[in-house]
Amino acid sequence: MREITANPQSAGLPYEEVYFETSDRKRLNGWFIAHDKSKSTLIFCHGNAGNISHRLEKISIFYNLGLNIFIFDYRGYGKSQGAPSESGLYEDAKAAYDYLTKERRVSKEGIILYGESIGGIVAIDLARNKNVEALITEEAFTSIKDMSRIAYPFLPYFIFSSRFDALSKIKNVGCPKLIIHSIDDEIVPFRLGEKLFDAAGPPKKFLKLRGGHNTAFLESEEQFKEGIKSFLSELKLP
């Protein structure tokens, strides 16, 4: 989770390395990738495996869709201080949002939240607590209770004292939502993606992919890109 193996420059993307603090004084690391033709910014909440340097292919897709991207490492990941916990991950996402809106003065109306796997629950929690334009989750699960019955070997150590109850949280998210899930996901079953979608209130859309938990966005790349592009086109972005 710690070693940074690459940066956006290696993918041909402009970027700024940034540091910001959480409410409990943890120093977090992230990248801001600015698109010269966009006023909309995607906050990228990554999954448990790896760190921000392992998301360059997906960052490139979002950049080519015309978005600024702010991706950060949670406490205990990459160059960020501390040790991960459920409450800590939620605080880290809030700190990322506050950094964007207060220090960089990014418009709240142009913020899109994206979360993959466990990052989907982090993004859902942030969406119910902050003003954002939209929420996108990919391969997110519903709760630890549901996952512990299925994927015990894949769960990170800190998760066993956690709930990560996305089902109850997403009911309180009012912004437009896009739930993405692969029918071939070998870690988070497709039925949990459907269950999460069913629990969400309108407006909402569902995008079904093919491919593995960590690779569906590449195995179904055109469908992934077109699905997100279509969803974004329906938003009132600045």
Catalytically active residues, by annotation: 117, 185, 213
Characterize the bridge pairing of strands 177-182 and 134-138. Answer: parallel
Burial of 83 (C-beta count, 10 Å sphere; 0-12/13-18/19+): exposed
Q: Is 121 in a helix, a strand, or coil?
A: helix
Helices (H), the chain: 56-64, 86-98, 118-129, 144-148, 166-170, 190-199, 216-219, 221-233
> Is the peptide bond preceding residue 203 cis, with omega within 30 degrees of 0?
yes
Map tokens 């890109």 to a residue: 225
Sheet holding 16-21, edge to edge: 16-21, 27-33, 68-72, 41-45, 111-116, 134-138, 177-182, 204-209
User: What span, in angstroms and rounded, lies between the C-alpha atoms of 31 and 185?
Assistant: 28
